[in-house]
């Protein structure tokens, strides 16, 4: 029997997509900015074709929210909330391509309520856009492979080229998909002029970003190496276990892989089942983050909803099991990803330890107040010669966001793209440095230093800033000689 396609069921899919977006919008104002959002807010002031640590799309997404709704954390979270709704629609479209009915399409759309998709879309991050891009590429690839609509490769190329402006990880997807086709077929598609036209379109659309990388000496390679050195061990250890936590209902995406391997009707897209282990191997070698496989995993989940729909048809008990499992998974996703737990009760739960995205939204205003207390304690003659130095972009972004209200001096940092914004003016030789580094590192950078404070938050939530030292330093060196030592990636 040949596989067919049913119409997309817009009412349930649209309601699920709208519910995801509305849920994000109604909770977006709680807690505080995420550290990445504070960084993107700074980058968005000076639009570029690219930055040392990433392409330009996500900072521009933050800029869009600010221009449309104001300079608040809620405002910059509106665009990613809308993107997650689009992810739900694309996932349903993938299920529809395999003749999934109302149940399959609805379940595929509901996959956005997992911990990771909600975390990625609650804050402005590169991850939610990547999820949309990967699903878009895979939807086009499925249409080309399964239905013989070769012109769909042009759509895949266009989406991939645009995706390069968000993150270069889409290249990994293309490599693994090509490897899957070589191993599982159909190999004849590799001779298709439409496939190569799509590849050429991806290069053409992404060319400005590629030119930027060449001119700048491929800074993304440097950034990837720095991340591998910093987090590679943890990434490799958690890679396989976290695959079962990224999506709701792991048996569904496992069913998707099994269906691709065993169902002769899906032979033409069996390459997707091979692409997934290839992706895991590649990420293990690169020491990439476990969530980098999320876009491909989401597509496998959408594919798995089709055999799941057949499995429950006519079986009330199975339907009840699926409904209960879906409801429980969504509840865990909401509680584990969104700010639904009051901040003063958060430390009593396992959420901050299990989801760093939540922990990194706590305490920024308080940290800035603590730095301000150190600054105001300085004699007036010292304050006139003082600048702020932040060891990472989260601290720099928080001081930039909340510092002007407290009349703090400008903040500088050597972290990632912020280093290129330049050193402080000469003559500002008193430095309040917010550093996780020990005193020896502070002295190496700025000479005479003393510890004035250690950051903490009243909620008792452990995050990257907890225990960070605030130093008061005086330097006799010029900033021209100091600044090269401050540059670092991570």
- Dihedral of alpha carbons 302, 304, 307, 310, sign: negative
CB atoms closer than 10 angstroms to residue 342? 10
In the chain, where are the structural domains located?
10-343, 364-486
Please give the Cα distance from 94 to 139 (Å, whole number). Answer: 6
Calculate mean pLDDT across residues 277-301: 94
Backbone angles phi, psi at 98, to 5 degrees: -100, 20
Percent of the chain whose pLDDT exceeds 90? 83
Tens of pLDDT, residue by residue over 141-188, are: 999 999 999 999 999 999 999 999 999 999 999 999 999 999 998 999
Q: pLDDT tens digits, residue range 358-400?
A: 999 999 999 999 999 999 999 999 999 999 999 999 999 999 9
- Asked if the model's pLDDT at residue 253 lies above 70, the reply is yes
- Pair 170, 160: CB distance under 8 Å: yes
Residue of 357, 180, 142 whose CA lies nearest to 271:
180
10 Å Cβ neighbour count for 237?
11
CA distances from 350 to 230, 239, 461, 462 (A): 24, 20, 10, 11
Q: pLDDT category, 284, cuts 50, 70, 90?
A: very high
């Amino acid at each position: 029997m040949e596989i067919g396609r049913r119409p997309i069921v817009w009412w349930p899919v649209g309601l699920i997509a709208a519910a995801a977006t509305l849920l994000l919008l109604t909770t977006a104002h709680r807690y505080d900015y995420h550290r990445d959002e504070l960084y993107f807010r700074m980058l968005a002031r000076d639009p570029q074709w690219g930055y040392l640590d990433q392409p330009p799309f996500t900072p521009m997404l933050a800029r869009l929210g600010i221009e449309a709704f104001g300079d608040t954390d809620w405002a910059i979270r509106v665009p990613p909330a809308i993107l997650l709704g689009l992810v739900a629609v694309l996932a349903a479209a993938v299920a529809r391509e395999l003749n999934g009915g109302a149940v399959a399409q609805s379940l595929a759309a509901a996959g956005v309520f997992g911990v990771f998709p909600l975390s990625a879309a609650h804050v402005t991050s590169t991850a939610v856009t990547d999820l949309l891009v990967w699903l878009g590429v895979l939807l086009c690839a499925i249409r080309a492979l399964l239905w013989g609509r070769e012109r769909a490769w042009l759509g895949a190329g266009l989406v991939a080229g645009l995706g390069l402006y968000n993150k270069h990880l889409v290249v990994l997807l293309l490599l693994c998909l090509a490897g899957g086709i070589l191993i599982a077929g159909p190999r004849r598609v590799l001779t298709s002029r439409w496939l190569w036209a799509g590849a050429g379109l991806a290069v053409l659309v992404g060319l400005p970003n590629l030119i930027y990388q060449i001119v700048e000496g491929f800074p993304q390679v440097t950034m990837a190496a720095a991340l591998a050195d910093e987090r590679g061990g943890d990434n490799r250890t958690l890679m396989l276990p976290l695959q079962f936590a990224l999506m709701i209902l792991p048996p569904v995406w496992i069913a998707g892989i099994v269906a691709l391997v065993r169902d002769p009707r899906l032979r033409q897209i069996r390459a997707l089942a091979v692409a997934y282990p290839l992706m895991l191997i590649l990420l293990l070698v690169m020491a990439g983050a476990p969530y980098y496989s999320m876009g491909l995993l989401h597509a496998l989940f959408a594919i798995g909803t089709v055999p799941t729909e057949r499995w429950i048809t006519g079986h009330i008990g199975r339907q009840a099991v699926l409904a209960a499992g879906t409801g429980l998974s969504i509840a865990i996703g909401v509680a584990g990803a969104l700010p639904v737990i009051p901040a003063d009760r958060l430390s009593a739960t396992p959420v901050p330890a299990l989801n760093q995205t939540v922990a990194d939204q706590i305490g920024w205003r308080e940290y800035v107040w603590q730095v301000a207390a150190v600054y105001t304690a300085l004699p007036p003659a010292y304050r006139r010669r003082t600048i702020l130095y932040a060891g990472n972009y989260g601290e720099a972004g928080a001081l930039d966001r909340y510092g002007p209200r407290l009349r703090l001096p400008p903040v500088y940092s050597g972290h990632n793209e912020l280093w290129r914004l330049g050193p402080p003016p000469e003559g500002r030789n008193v430095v309040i440095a917010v550093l996780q580094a020990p005193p020896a590192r502070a002295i190496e950078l700025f000479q005479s230093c003393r510890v004035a404070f250690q950051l903490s938050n009243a909620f008792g939530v452990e995050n990257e800033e907890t225990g960070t030292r605030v130093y008061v330093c005086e330097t006799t060196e010029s900033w021209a000689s100091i600044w090269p030592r401050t540059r670092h990636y991570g």
